[in-house]
């Protein structure tokens, strides 16, 4: 995991060294209930909602979540713009 901050944005990159994600699935994996393999017996749990939720949350914050192409594994990059409001401490409720 790598993070960086510039004057106007924050970036978070999360990478793994797994089998990767085929280029043909690079956009569809962000759709709700989409999984690379949908066999019940494949041994991996999950409904295929995590990336859809993460991308929607990024968009609501004015940012983006993308899959970066790579030779091995997968790298997801989150960009969030920093505004004066986003830098202010939360107000007490």
pLDDT tens digits for 33-88? 887 765 555 556 677 788 999 999 999 999 999 999 777 889 999 999 998 765 56
Residue-wise pLDDT tens digits, 29-46: 899 888 776 555 555 667
Which of 72, 27, 71, 68 shows the shortest CA–CA distance to 51?
Answer: 27
The pLDDT of residue 85 is 66
The pLDDT of residue 23 is 85
Torsion of CA 17, 13, 36, 49, to 10 degrees: 140
Token pair listed for 43: 């041994």
Total structural domains within the chain: 1
Q: Is 92 part of a structural domain of the chain?
A: no
Return the SS3 of 33: coil
Q: Is 93 part of a structural domain of the chain?
A: no
Return the SS3 of 40: helix
The residue ranking higher by pLDDT, 2 or 40, is 2
Q: Is 60 part of a structural domain of the chain?
A: yes
Query: Rounded distance, CA 42 to CA 9, Å?
Result: 39
Supply the range of the domain harboring residue 62: 2-87
């Amino acid at each position: 995991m790598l993070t960086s901050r510039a004057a106007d944005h924050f970036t978070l990159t999360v990478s793994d060294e797994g089998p990767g994600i085929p280029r043909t699935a690079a956009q569809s994996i962000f759709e709700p209930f989409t999984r690379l393999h949908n066999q019940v017996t494949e041994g991996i749990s999950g409904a295929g909602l995590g990336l859809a939720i993460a991308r929607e949350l990024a968009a609501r914050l004015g940012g983006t979540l993308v899959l970066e192409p790579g030779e091995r594994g997968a790298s997801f990059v989150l960009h969030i713009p920093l505004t004066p409001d986003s830098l202010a401490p939360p107000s007490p409720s």
